[in-house]
């Protein structure tokens, strides 16, 4: 059935705008300028009423009472030119009158606002017939019959990470399919099921169905979580823990993937049985979420008593957030409180981009709502994931395989699944006119194709941003940039190194696996061209024999030493989880400086056995070296909130953040040799401004790698100006080696240290 609109407003111009907008959308609309005319109007022929609150004959507050008395079943949109407090009060009053408020509008409003509201009403009309055709509740017998005939079905609503827009989980929502195929929604049977105490059977049926379907989804999308609602009856059954644990084992689903939602009301949570069940569920690794937060009683007391890992902000607070200052304060304070208590926060009912942006600015990370998707059957989930496929910036992602893995580009589905890598593409060196006219060149030999291409392209972006910023300051610049593609192969890099332009001053940003360091040094040992900021961070590049290499930042051994220094001040057992290969010895040397530390060497093909060996040692602290996906697997397998994890930048901070978006209680620190590019430091601000001024630049290129390249290029450009553009390879080397307390806009200065051949020496600790 199509929607039909009624506008009640004494301002004819306002009614005219709404009617015209509706007409353009092929929606029937009427209007009344006098609210007294409602007495002679069948209000239930309308599914949407736009109601002005301030009218001379009768105000909107009075009209709300009349609509309630006449059992209006549609939606109301409140309008006012007064402050938000009046709109909020009217909305609360409408709720008390059992009216459904779709939105509220501050006058003056835009045509776009009306279009969005009408579109939402149309979506709701498709979702359920309750707008115009309220249906009676099912009886106890009808629910039992649906259970017996297996007509209970599960739909899933996606939960989205606000930072990356990656799908991180699904909430399982129950439906009953009528014999004629119609879907019956929970508002018609949940209360009856609770009152008749068949809700426990209904919950078990939902869990059985959801687990069997979710098992298939996890095969391709291993990082997704599944949220399932529990009832008060479920929490009274002391055998429920053993039952759901057996189901998780039966379907081979890790308990850490399951989030059990309990409604935040005194009726459910006040019993000792419920606390025992929830406590045992947490001990077994299940997560516990407080659902509908803010609508129950004894709110703070429930947070204190419950073994919760997550809090879900009820949709009644999220609804109309953009116009409700009180809701903004309450939600912001709730998010801050949860951050202090190590609780994940999920906001329900997000229906527009303005609300999404507000929640993001407040620090909320996980959301669900119609803006992303309505609840959908399992058969449609895969299509939704494919539709939302995104390229995820990886910073420094590591792959698994033999020795310490190599950074690589990955294309990721919303759950973290890795796509097949494309075949390397041949790319020609393209020089701009500015480069051709330049007296000298900074040459970048980068993996612009091949398995490291994300890293190479990011380096290229950072260099270009630094160059453009410098060019704005010095428009007569005679120094150019040269980019060569090494196709992610060191052999190609070596050939390119021998074919550099004669007027090349320096090479910036080569990228290669750690295991090929010796080969890299062999190819470049006899060159007089200084090489700045190689991606590789091992000790061999800091050897006094690597005279052509000028490291921009500390290496991974210094990061490990920084972790070791921090752990020396802590009590408890430390275990270093080290990949098999050439780095194992170096890492073990650092770990031995930590009192009582032990080591576990792992292979990628026997990871589970290695993790089991680690768990036997009952560590308080785990120091990890390796790839992001291995770290996440390690954390999932250990599944103990009290363990503290430490990792170096080799793991890839950006990727870890994406894969661990739902781990609020996790204690993880990652060392970084560079400050955060999103900080308020001068260099970071310059980097972001340069990115903003570069037209059409995608967000994925604004990352740690491009920031590093920006800084390195900026340094060389600054030295070029300091030497009054009279620079050669030899004088550039001497300029780098003479640097002392040089301010590049970071919180620490650059100083050359011959003993480790590097310019930056500070290691940052980032809490994830």
Mean pLDDT for 378-384 is 86
The string of pLDDT tens digits covering residues 537-585 is 788 888 877 888 999 998 888 888 899 888 888 888 899 998 887 667 6
Q: Are 203 and 234 in contact (CB under 8 A)?
A: yes
- 416 confidence band (pLDDT: 50, 70, 90): very low
Strand 366-367 and strand 376-377: the pairing is unpaired
CA-CA-CA-CA torsion sign (613, 617, 619, 623): negative
CA 342 to chain centre: 17
Calculate the CA dihedral of residues 519, 522, 524, 528 and round it to 10 degrees: 160
Give me the pLDDT at residue 49, please.
Answer: 94
Give me the pLDDT at residue 427, please.
Answer: 33
Report the C-alpha gap between 142 and 36 in whole angstroms. Answer: 44
Give me the pLDDT at residue 87, please.
Answer: 75
Please give the C-alpha separations between residue 296 and each of 134, 267, 718, in angstroms, as whole numbers: 26, 9, 61
Report the C-alpha gap between 197 and 62 in whole angstroms. Answer: 40
Calculate the CA dihedral of residues 222, 230, 133, 45 and round it to 10 degrees: -90
**Burial of 100 per CB tally in 10 Å (0-12, 13-18, 19+):** middle
Write out the DSSP string of 516-540.
GHHHHHHHHTT--S-EE--S--SGG
Mean pLDDT for 374-395 is 66
Give me the pLDDT at residue 54, please.
Answer: 87
Residue 497 has pLDDT above 60, yes or no: yes
Supply φ then ψ for residue 598, to 5 degrees: -120, 165
Residue 265 has pLDDT above 60, yes or no: no
State whether residue 107 is helix, strand or coil. Answer: coil
Give me the pLDDT at residue 328, please.
Answer: 86
Give me the pLDDT at residue 526, please.
Answer: 82
Q: Are 76 and 100 in contact (CB under 8 A)?
A: yes
- Residue ranges of alpha helices (H) inside 25-139 are 60-69, 84-96, 111-127
Mean pLDDT for 306-324 is 83
Give me the pLDDT at residue 219, please.
Answer: 81
What is residue 697's DSSP assignment?
Answer: -
Given the structure tokens 């169905």, which residue do they identify?
209
Give residues with Cβ within 8 angstroms of 667, minimum separation 6.
641, 642, 643, 644, 645
CA angle 504, 701, 440 (to 5 degrees): 15
Share of the chain above pLDDT 90, in %: 28
Q: Counting every residue, how long is the chain?
A: 768
Name which residue leads in pLDDT, 103 or 151. Answer: 151
Q: Are 259 and 287 in contact (CB under 8 A)?
A: yes
The string of pLDDT tens digits covering residues 225-250 is 999 999 888 888 889 999 999 999 99
Mean pLDDT for 319-323 is 76
Segment (H or E) for 20: helix 12-24
Give me the pLDDT at residue 739, please.
Answer: 92
The string of pLDDT tens digits covering residues 733-754 is 999 999 999 999 998 999 999 9
Give me the pLDDT at residue 418, please.
Answer: 32
Report the C-alpha gap between 573 and 596 in whole angstroms. Answer: 7
Report the C-alpha gap between 120 and 208 in whole angstroms. Answer: 33
Give me the pLDDT at residue 296, please.
Answer: 52
Give me the pLDDT at residue 126, please.
Answer: 62
- Residue ranges of alpha helices (H) inside 221-294 are 232-236, 240-250, 266-269, 272-283
Given the structure tokens 């890992």, which residue do they identify?
309
Strand 167-177 and strand 183-184: the pairing is antiparallel
Report the C-alpha gap between 27 and 561 in whole angstroms. Answer: 68
Give me the pLDDT at residue 347, please.
Answer: 92
Please give the C-alpha separations between residue 337 and each of 197, 333, 345, 363, 712, in angstroms, as whole numbers: 35, 6, 10, 11, 40
Please give the C-alpha separations between residue 341 and each of 160, 237, 277, 285, in angstroms, as whole numbers: 22, 29, 22, 18
State whether residue 758 is helix, strand or coil. Answer: strand
**Burial of 302 per CB tally in 10 Å (0-12, 13-18, 19+):** buried
Report the C-alpha gap between 608 and 522 in whole angstroms. Answer: 38
Give residues with Cβ within 8 angstroms of 491, minimum separation 6.
none
State whether residue 765 is helix, strand or coil. Answer: strand
Cβ count within 10 A of residue 205: 17
Please give the C-alpha separations between residue 479 and each of 21, 362, 474, 566, in angstroms, as whole numbers: 57, 44, 10, 44
In this prediction the pTM is: 0.58
- 267 confidence band (pLDDT: 50, 70, 90): low
Strand 376-377 and strand 152-161: the pairing is antiparallel
| Helix/strand/coil percent split, the chain, to 5 | 45, 20, 35
Residue 264 has pLDDT above 70, yes or no: no
**Burial of 472 per CB tally in 10 Å (0-12, 13-18, 19+):** exposed
**Burial of 61 per CB tally in 10 Å (0-12, 13-18, 19+):** middle
Give me the pLDDT at residue 132, please.
Answer: 39
Give me the pLDDT at residue 83, please.
Answer: 67
Mean pLDDT for 438-447 is 88
Please give the C-alpha separations between residue 536 and each of 498, 561, 580, in angstroms, as whole numbers: 20, 18, 18
Please give the C-alpha separations between residue 742 and each of 78, 388, 548, 738, 760, in angstroms, as whole numbers: 60, 45, 21, 10, 10
Longest dimension (CA), the chain: 96
- 330 confidence band (pLDDT: 50, 70, 90): confident
Give me the pLDDT at residue 425, please.
Answer: 38
Give me the pLDDT at residue 597, please.
Answer: 85
Supply φ then ψ for residue 200, to 5 degrees: -65, -40
Give me the pLDDT at residue 393, please.
Answer: 30
Residue 400 has pLDDT above 50, yes or no: no
Report the C-alpha gap between 441 and 435 in whole angstroms. Answer: 7
Give the chain's end-to-end CA distance (angstroms, integer): 49
Give me the pLDDT at residue 272, please.
Answer: 74
Give residues with Cβ within 8 angstroms of 482, minimum separation 6.
429, 431, 435, 441, 442, 443, 444, 500, 501, 504
Report the C-alpha gap between 673 and 552 in whole angstroms. Answer: 9
Q: Output the average pLDDT for the chain.
A: 82
CA 628 to chain centre: 15
Secondary structure E strands in 625-681: 644-647, 667-672
Q: Are 229 and 203 in contact (CB under 8 A)?
A: yes
């Amino acid at each position: 059935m199509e929607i039909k609109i009624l506008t009640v407003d004494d301002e004819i111009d306002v009614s005219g705008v709404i009617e015209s907008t509706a007409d353009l959308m092929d929606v029937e609309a009427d209007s009344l300028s006098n609210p007294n005319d409602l007495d002679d109007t069948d209000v239930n022929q309308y599914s949407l009423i736009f109601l002005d609150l301030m009218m001379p004959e009768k105000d909107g507050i009075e009209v709300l009472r009349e609509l309630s008395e006449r059992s209006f079943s549609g939606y109301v949109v409140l309008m006012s030119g007064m402050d938000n407090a009046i709109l909020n009060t009217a909305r609360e009053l409408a709720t008390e009158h059992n009216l459904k408020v779709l939105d509220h509008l501050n006058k003056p409003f835009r045509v776009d606002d009306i279009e969005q509201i009408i579109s939402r009403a149309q979506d709701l009309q498709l979702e359920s017939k309750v707008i115009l055709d309220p249906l009676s509740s099912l009886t106890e017998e009808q629910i039992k019959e649906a259970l017996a005939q297996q007509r209970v079905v599960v739909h899933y609503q996606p939960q989205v990470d606000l930072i990356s827009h990656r799908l991180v989980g699904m909430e399982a929502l129950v439906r009953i399919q009528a014999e004629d195929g119609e879907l019956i929604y929970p508002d018609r049977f949940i209360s009856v099921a609770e009152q008749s105490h068949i809700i426990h059977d209904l919950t078990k049926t939902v869990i059985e169905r959801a687990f069997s379907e979710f098992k298939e989804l996890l095969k391709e999308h291993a990082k997704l979580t599944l949220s399932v609602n529990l009832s008060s009856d479920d929490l009274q059954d002391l055998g429920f823990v053993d039952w759901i644990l057996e189901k998780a084992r039966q379907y081979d689903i890790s308990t850490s993937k399951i989030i059990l939602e309990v409604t935040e009301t005194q009726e459910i949570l006040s019993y000792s049985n419920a606390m025992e069940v929830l406590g045992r569920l947490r001990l077994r690794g299940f997560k516990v979420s407080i659902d509908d937060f803010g609508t129950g009683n004894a709110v703070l007391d429930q947070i204190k008593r419950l073994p919760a890992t997550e809090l879900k902000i009820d949709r009644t607070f999220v609804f109309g957030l953009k116009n409700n200052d009180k809701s903004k304060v309450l939600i912001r304070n709730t998010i801050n409180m949860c951050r202090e208590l190590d609780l994940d926060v999920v906001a329900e009912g997000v229906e527009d981009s303005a609300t999404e942006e507000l929640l993001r600015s407040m620090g909320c990370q996980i959301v669900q709502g119609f803006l992303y998707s309505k609840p959908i059957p399992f058969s449609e989930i895969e299509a939704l994931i494919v539709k939302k496929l995104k390229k995820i910036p990886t910073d420094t992602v590591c792959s698994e395989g033999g020795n310490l893995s190599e950074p690589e580009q990955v294309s990721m589905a919303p759950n973290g699944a890795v796509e097949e890598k494309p075949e390397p593409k041949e790319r020609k060196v393209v020089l701009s006119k500015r480069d051709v006219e330049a007296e000298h060149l900074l040459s970048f030999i980068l993996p612009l194709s091949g398995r490291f291409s994300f890293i190479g392209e990011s380096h290229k972006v950072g260099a270009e941003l630094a160059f453009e910023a410098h060019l704005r300051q010095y428009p007569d610049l005679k120094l150019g940039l040269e980019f060569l593609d090494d196709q992610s192969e060191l052999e190609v890099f070596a050939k390119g190194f021998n074919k550099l332009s004669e007027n090349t001053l320096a090479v910036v940003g080569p990228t290669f696996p750690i295991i090929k360091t010796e080969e890299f040094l062999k190819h470049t040992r006899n060159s007089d061209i200084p090489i700045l900021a190689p991606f590789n961070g091992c000790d061999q590049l800091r050897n006094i024999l690597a005279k052509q290499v000028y490291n921009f930042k500390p290496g991974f051994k210094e990061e490990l030493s920084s972790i070791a220094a921090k752990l020396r001040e802590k009590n408890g057992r430390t275990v270093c989880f080290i990949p098999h290969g050439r780095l194992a010895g170096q890492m073990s040397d650092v770990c031995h400086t930590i009192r009582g530390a032990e080591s576990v060497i792992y292979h990628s093909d026997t990871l589970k056995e290695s993790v089991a060996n680690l768990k036997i040692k009952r560590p308080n602290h785990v120091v990890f070296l390796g790839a992001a996906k291995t770290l996440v697997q390690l954390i999932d397998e250990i599944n103990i909130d009290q363990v503290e994890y430490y990792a170096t930048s080799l793991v890839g901070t950006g990727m870890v953040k994406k894969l661990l978006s739902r781990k609020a209680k996790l204690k993880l620190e990652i060392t970084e040799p560079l400050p955060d590019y999103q900080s308020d430091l001068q260099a970071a601000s310059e980097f972001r401004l340069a990115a903003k001024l570069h037209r059409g630049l995608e967000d994925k290129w604004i990352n740690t790698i491009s920031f590093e390249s920006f800084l390195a290029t900026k340094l060389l450009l600054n030295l070029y100006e300091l030497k009054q553009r009279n620079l050669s390879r030899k004088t550039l080397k001497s300029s780098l080696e003479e640097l002392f307390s040089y301010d590049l806009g970071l919180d620490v200065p650059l100083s050359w240290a011959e003993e480790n051949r590097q310019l930056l020496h500070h290691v940052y600790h980032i809490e994830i």
